[in-house]
Structure 1
Amino acid sequence: MPTELPPTIDPQAAARWAGLRTAASPWLHEEVARRMEDRLQWIKLQPKAWAHWRPVRGGLQAHGLLSARYPEATCYVVEGHADQAQIAIQSVAKPWWTAARWKAGAQRAELPPDSSVQMLWANMLLHSAADPQALMAQWHRALAVDGFLMFSCLGPDTALELRAVYEAMGWPAPGNEFTDMHDWGDMLVAAGFAEPVMDMERIHLSYATAARLLLDLREIGRNLHPGRFPALRGKAWRADLEQALARQLADAEGQGRLSMTFELIYGHALKPKPRLRLDAQSAISLRDMRDMLQRGPPGAS
Structure 2
Amino acid sequence: MSDSSPAAASASPACAPHRRALQRQTKRLATLPEAPWLHQEAARRLAAKLAPIRLQPKDWIDWSAFLGAGAELVQAQYPQAQRWVVEPSGELAQRSQAQLAQNAQRDWRKLWRREVPQAHVEPVPADAPWRRDGSDGAQMLWANMTLHASADLPGLMRRWYEHLAIDGFLMCSGLGPDTARELRAVYAALGWPLPTIDFIDMHDLGDELVQAGFADPVMDMERLTLTWETPEALLAELRTWGGNVAQGRFAGLRTPRWRARLLETLRERLMRPDGRLGLTVELVYGHAIKPTPRIKVEAEARVSLQDMKRMIRQGDKPG
TM range (shorter): 0.7 to 0.9
Distance 1:233 1:286 in 2: 59
Q: How many residues matched? A: 290
1:289 Cα shift?
A: 4.0
The 5-angstrom pairing of residues 146-295 of structure 1 reads 146-252=167-273, 254=274, 256-283=275-302, 287-295=306-314
Q: Which residue of 1 aligns with 2:146?
A: 125
Q: Using a 3 Å threshold, how does the CA distance of structure 1 residues 235 and 3 change in structure 2: closer, same or farther?
A: closer
CA offsets 1:60-114 (integer angstroms, 9 cap, x no match): xx211222322221111001224122144246446245x8989xx9744234455
**Structure-1-length-normalised TM-score:** 0.88
Q: Equivalences for 1:41-190 in 2 at 5 Å?
A: 41-59=51-69, 62-79=70-87, 80-81=89-90, 82-90=93-101, 92-93=103-104, 95-97=106-108, 107-110=117-120, 111=124, 112=128, 113=130, 115-190=136-211
Q: Give the partner amino acid of 1:76.
A: W
- C-alpha distance in 2 between matches for 1:84 and 1:11: 22
TM-score, structure 2 as length reference: 0.83
Higher RCO (CA 8 Å, separation ≥ 6 residues): 2
Distance in 2 (CA, whole Å) between partners of 1:202 and 1:243 is 26
Return closer, same or farther for 1:11/1:281 CA change in 2, 3 Å cut-off.
Answer: farther
Runs of 5+ unmatched residues, structure 2: 1-9
C-alpha distance 77-70 of structure 1, shift in aligned 2 (>3 A)? same
Question: Counterpart of 2:84 in structure 1: which amino acid?
Answer: Y
Amino acid at match of 1:188: L
Structure 1 residues 240 and 4: CA distance shift in structure 2, 3 A: closer
Gaps of at least 5 residues in structure 1 are: none
Indicate the RMSD between aligned Cα atoms, in angstroms. Answer: 2.4
Q: Distance in 1 between matches of 2:111 and 2:57?
A: 19
Q: Mean alpha-carbon deviation: is it higher for 176-185 or for 9-18? A: 9-18
Counterpart amino acid of residue 79 in structure 2: P
- The worse-fitting range, judged by mean Cα deviation, of 268-277 and 64-73 is 64-73
Question: What CA distance in whole angstroms lies between the structure 2 residues aligned with 1:122 and 1:269?
Answer: 12
Given that 2:187 and 2:195 are in contact with CA atoms closer than 8 Å, whether structure 1 keeps it comes out as yes
SS in 1 for 2:148: helix
Pick closer, same or farther for the CA change 1:100–1:128 going to 2, 3 Å: closer
Q: Please give the per-residue CA displacement for 1:215-265, whole angstroms capped at 9, x wherever unaligned.
A: 11111121111111111112221111111101110012x2x1000000110
Q: Contact 1:56–1:88 (CA<8 Å) still a contact in 2?
A: no
The structure-2 alpha-carbon separation of the partners of 1:285 and 1:6, relative to structure 1 and needing over 3 Å to count, comes to: farther
Match of 1:27 in 2: 37
Q: Residues 3 and 288 from structure 1, CA distance in 2 versus in 1: closer, same or farther, beyond 3 angstroms? A: farther
Letter in 1 for 2:256: K
Task: State percent identity of aligned pairs.
Answer: 46
